[in-house]
């Protein structure tokens, strides 16, 4: 049985004016670490809020642990853990008091499920008398995770848990998630960071409320349709302009210090491109074939008009 089913859900805001989620369907298996990947405003939080029974969808149906989110919302509220994107614990209560409060709310005690949170809790335990409002971002996030876990939820919803957290803490956080997965807790996590996508077992790429693709990260990368090249030159701005002007270019966008290019002609596109560049006195050219990342797949999957926008922003 699936831990989460999401079938043809559509949700609009402002009486239908803003389309937040457009006919999205997916399934999450029991014990799976599932990632929702998408930029800000893609509709990730809306999906979480629907699944945690905070929002009603306009159409479609969804279920958590087999319980319908509309009819059996009370059961769901008792059995899932939710960590909203914004820190939502009581800032004027201490770590210990927050944890105790949420344990009591769910009719349990810290002691009962201490095993589950121990790894995380020991890191913040030295500060347990400190008020939550005075914690650092990383500690707040650990506390929020503890509070979401304290009742041993069957499904854990983490809405952008690593946004605004430093890279070391981010790495630590994902290690914690891997350990939780071993406890057979289904985890649904959303993130705008593409590099975190590969840490999930399966991911769904979302853009403007629409699902672009849903598979394992490896499969998504494999399904990248063409060869991808990274190109570098001394004058990057000129290179970008030249590459865009080149008729053999299928796609072209700035990616870190490189340009990522795909060519229309699969066989010798790169060779033709090089000879094209040599006629335009470009210096310091470096070109090599690379494995696509999730971000490349994401850009490639985006509808045409949006790709242009994205490139425009990256220039």
By CB under 8 A, name the binding residues for another protein.
52-54, 74, 77-78, 80, 82, 84, 86-93, 97, 101-102, 104-107, 147
Phi, psi of 110 (to 5 degrees): -60, -40
Q: Are strands 202-207 and 33-37 parallel, antiparallel or unpaired?
A: parallel
Q: Packing angle between helix 167-182 and helix 114-124, nearest 10 degrees?
A: 160
Considering the complex, state which of residue 31 and residue 85 has its C-beta at the smaller distance from another protein.
85
| Residue (of 295, 306, 288) closest to 221 by Cα position | 295
Least distance CB 211 / another protein (angstroms):
24
Least distance CB 180 / another protein (angstroms):
18
Considering the complex, state which of residue 156 and residue 299 has its C-beta at the smaller distance from another protein.
156
3-state secondary structure of 87: coil
Considering the complex, state which of residue 105 and residue 290 has its C-beta at the smaller distance from another protein.
105
Least distance CB 58 / another protein (angstroms):
17
Least distance CB 87 / another protein (angstroms):
7
**Owner of token pair 């009591």:** 104
Beta strands in the chain, from DSSP E residues, in sequence order? 2-13, 18-29, 33-37, 59-64, 67-68, 80-83, 155-159, 186-191, 202-207, 210-215, 228-232, 249-255, 258-263, 286-290
Least distance CB 312 / another protein (angstroms):
34
| Residue (of 152, 153, 179, 180) closest to 64 by Cα position | 153
> What is d(CA 43, CA 25) in angstroms, rounded to the nearest whole number?
13
Considering the complex, state which of residue 87 and residue 174 has its C-beta at the smaller distance from another protein.
87
Considering the complex, state which of residue 185 and residue 302 has its C-beta at the smaller distance from another protein.
185
Least distance CB 94 / another protein (angstroms):
10
Q: Let me know: does 201 contact 215? Beta carbons within 8 Å.
A: no
Considering the complex, state which of residue 74 and residue 288 has its C-beta at the smaller distance from another protein.
74
Cβ-in-10-Å burial (0-12, 13-18, 19+) of 47 comes to buried
């Amino acid at each position: 049985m699936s831990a989460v089913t999401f079938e043809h859900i559509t949700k609009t805001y402002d009486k239908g004016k803003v389309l937040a989620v457009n006919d999205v369907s997916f399934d999450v298996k029991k014990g799976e670490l599932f990632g929702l990947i998408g930029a800000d405003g893609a509709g990730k939080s809306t999906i979480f809020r629907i699944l945690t029974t905070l929002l009603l969808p306009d159409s479609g149906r969804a279920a958590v642990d087999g319980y319908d989110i509309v009819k059996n919302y009370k059961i769901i509220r008792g059995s899932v853990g939710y960590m909203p994107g914004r820190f939502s614990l009581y800032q004027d209560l201490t770590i210990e008091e927050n944890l105790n409060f949420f344990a009591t709310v769910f009719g349990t005690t810290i002691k009962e499920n201490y095993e589950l949170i121990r790894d995380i809790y020991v890191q913040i335990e030295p500060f347990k008398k400190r008020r939550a409002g005075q914690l650092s971002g990383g500690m707040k996030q650990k506390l929020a995770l503890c509070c979401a876990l304290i009742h041993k939820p069957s499904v854990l919803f983490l809405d952008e848990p690593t946004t605004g957290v430093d890279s070391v803490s981010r790495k630590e956080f994902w290690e914690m998630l891997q350990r939780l997965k071993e406890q057979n807790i289904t985890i649904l996590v959303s993130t705008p960071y593409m590099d975190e996508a590969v840490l999930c077992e399966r991911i769904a790429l979302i853009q403007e409320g629409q699902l672009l693709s849903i598979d394992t990260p490896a499969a998504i990368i494999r399904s990248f349709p063409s060869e991808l090249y990274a190109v570098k030159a001394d004058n990057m701005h000129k290179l970008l302009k030249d590459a865009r002007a080149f008729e053999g270019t299928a796609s072209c966008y700035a990616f870190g210090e490189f340009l990522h290019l795909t060519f229309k002609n699969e066989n010798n596109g790169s060779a033709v491109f090089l000879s094209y560049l040599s006629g335009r006195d470009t210096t310091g050219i470096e070109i090599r074939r690379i494995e696509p990342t999730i971000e490349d797949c994401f850009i490639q999957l985006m509808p045409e008009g949006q790709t242009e926008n994205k490139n425009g922003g990256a220039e």
